[in-house]
Copies of this chain bind each other. A is one copy, B any other.
């Protein structure tokens, strides 16, 4: 058995057990480790750097649209949660409580934030007096905690990292525009940066954020056909404004409640990205987010080794200079084949091979992680060739993910049809829905699928509810979800 063969078989094939494949891959690619605290993981450097690249990109988009970052305390007094009824019902079961500090029992318990609408609402009520103070456009990068019963690295952990935007506006119209703008920013980011196609739509009432008037989401399909809610944007109406008394003097000199929004994405994007793109050889990282975009591997016999490494280093400097995240692996005690497998497993999008004959010919060989395509390119034109191929890899990844989603996207008319189809294969199912929570609940109980969202642009419109057969109010995507 060759070393290459041994290497690959350490990862459970996706078809055999997708969950085990996922854990194998994230552990082996060194993205995370379990911690001694239940449901909390350690983000190792390769995992965390993915998050750093996401942060940079999102920050750029947030700032371009006028938002600024701030930071609010993570401790939230218990009384704050009581102020918005739906909010407390939604989050209370998951809160961790600080009851002692500095050697004393606290008079009031402090929750650790599961989200910050309450703390931020309290502050906004102090900051906002007049329409001149509006809009308030603030974002926060923070750790939050939701004490989950079942956890899965990146996708559902007790402590996780996220950003939460919180804005306040004069009118409903303006707040709704903001809600949509941020949803669109998430869509554009997730599609163009992470190469994940998503479905934009509105959540049904039972799936809304606790305290929201409307919740909108982008939903992505994993390679096991399950859905991940990749980002949400909420129009909160005046609910939190009423709860926290956030009023402003309007242009007409009336005291009015502000309209607020909130929106967030989290480190679960890392997990989604892995489940959308990975394969049986390991991770496949989208080029724009990969900690290493190009791995350079000098090859050939010992007698030309020094020369090849010398040239490799020159080319390395050129690529680095151009802002490409590149690394060289010139270890002498590891075979090229082993290295090829290693970096394929780690999901490095592009491999550059350079051997003595390539040197003579002034070329290098580029190999795509996703398609395996080999391309012989001129060294003189290397930066442009690498940039071009990285973009093609991104496009290829997006196209494959989209095709997979389309292959696993079906239309159904009845609950029986949904049940039968889901037993055959998981995926997204578009169906009519009358709008009643009871029908939604029945679908969930009988199939395990939840309503993901009501797509803004459904491929078809369904006329009758899959469950009760009455007139359909909406056409909904149903799927099992993480």
A68 to B327, CA, bound (A): 15
A112 contacts which chain B residues (CB < 8 A)? 98, 112
With A95-B101, A99-B99, A126-B33: A69-B42 Cβ-Cβ less than 8 Å:
no
A19 to B159, CA, bound (A): 37
With A35-B119, A69-B48: A40-B159 Cβ-Cβ less than 8 Å:
no
Query: Which of A44, A72, A101, A103: most chain B Cβ within 10 A?
Result: A101
A73 contacts which chain B residues (CB < 8 A)? 35, 37, 40-42, 159
Q: Does A49 contact B (CB under 8 A)?
A: yes
A184 to chain B, nearest CB (A): 23
A122 contacts which chain B residues (CB < 8 A)? 36
Q: Does A102 contact B (CB under 8 A)?
A: yes
Contact flags (1/0) for A289-320 with B, using CB distance below 8 Å?
Answer: 00000000000000000000000000000000
Beta-carbon contact of B98 and A71 below 8 Å: no
Name the interface size band of chain A: 35 or more
Beta-carbon contact of A70 and B98 below 8 Å: no
Beta-carbon contact of B101 and A147 below 8 Å: yes
Q: Does A143 contact B (CB under 8 A)?
A: yes
A51 contacts which chain B residues (CB < 8 A)? 71
Contact flags (1/0) for A29-58 with B, using CB distance below 8 Å?
Answer: 000010111001111110111011000000
With A36-B77, A36-B122: A68-B97 Cβ-Cβ less than 8 Å:
no
A99 to B72, CA, bound (A): 23
Q: Which of B49, B100, B143 contacts A99 (CB 8 A)?
A: B100
**In the complex, chain A residues 128-145 whose Cβ is within 8 Å of any chain B Cβ:** 138, 142-143
Beta-carbon contact of A96 and B95 below 8 Å: no
A293 to chain B, nearest CB (A): 16
In chain B, what residue has the closest Cβ to A77?
B36
A94 contacts which chain B residues (CB < 8 A)? 102
With A96-B101, A99-B100, A101-B97: A35-B71 Cβ-Cβ less than 8 Å:
no
A301 to chain B, nearest CB (A): 26
A99 contacts which chain B residues (CB < 8 A)? 97-100
A48 contacts which chain B residues (CB < 8 A)? 68-71
Beta-carbon contact of A96 and B103 below 8 Å: no
Q: Does A323 contact B (CB under 8 A)?
A: no
Beta-carbon contact of B102 and A149 below 8 Å: yes
A419 to chain B, nearest CB (A): 32
In chain B, what residue has the closest Cβ to A137?
B45
A68 contacts which chain B residues (CB < 8 A)? 45, 48-49
Q: Does A74 contact B (CB under 8 A)?
A: yes
Beta-carbon contact of A102 and B96 below 8 Å: yes
Beta-carbon contact of A72 and B126 below 8 Å: no
Q: Does A75 contact B (CB under 8 A)?
A: yes
Query: Which of A40, A73, A122, A126: most chain B Cβ within 10 A?
Result: A73
Q: Which of B71, B77, B93, B148 contacts A43 (CB 8 A)?
A: B71
Q: Does A110 contact B (CB under 8 A)?
A: yes
A238 to B320, CA, bound (A): 37
A333 to chain B, nearest CB (A): 11
Beta-carbon contact of B42 and A123 below 8 Å: yes
Q: Does A161 contact B (CB under 8 A)?
A: yes
A119 contacts which chain B residues (CB < 8 A)? 35-36
In chain B, what residue has the closest Cβ to A75?
B37
**In the complex, chain A residues 147-176 whose Cβ is within 8 Å of any chain B Cβ:** 147-149, 159, 161
29 A-B residue pairings within 8 Å (CB atoms): A33-B126, A35-B73, A35-B119, A36-B77, A37-B76, A37-B110, A40-B73, A40-B75, A41-B73, A42-B70, A42-B73, A43-B71, A44-B70, A45-B138, A48-B69, A48-B70, A49-B68, A71-B161, A73-B159, A94-B102, A95-B101, A95-B102, A96-B101, A96-B110, A98-B98, A102-B148, A102-B149, A112-B112, A142-B143
Q: Which A residues contact B (CB, under 8 angstroms)?
A: 33, 35-37, 40-45, 47-49, 51-52, 68-77, 80, 92-103, 110, 112, 119, 122-123, 126-127, 138, 142-143, 147-149, 159, 161
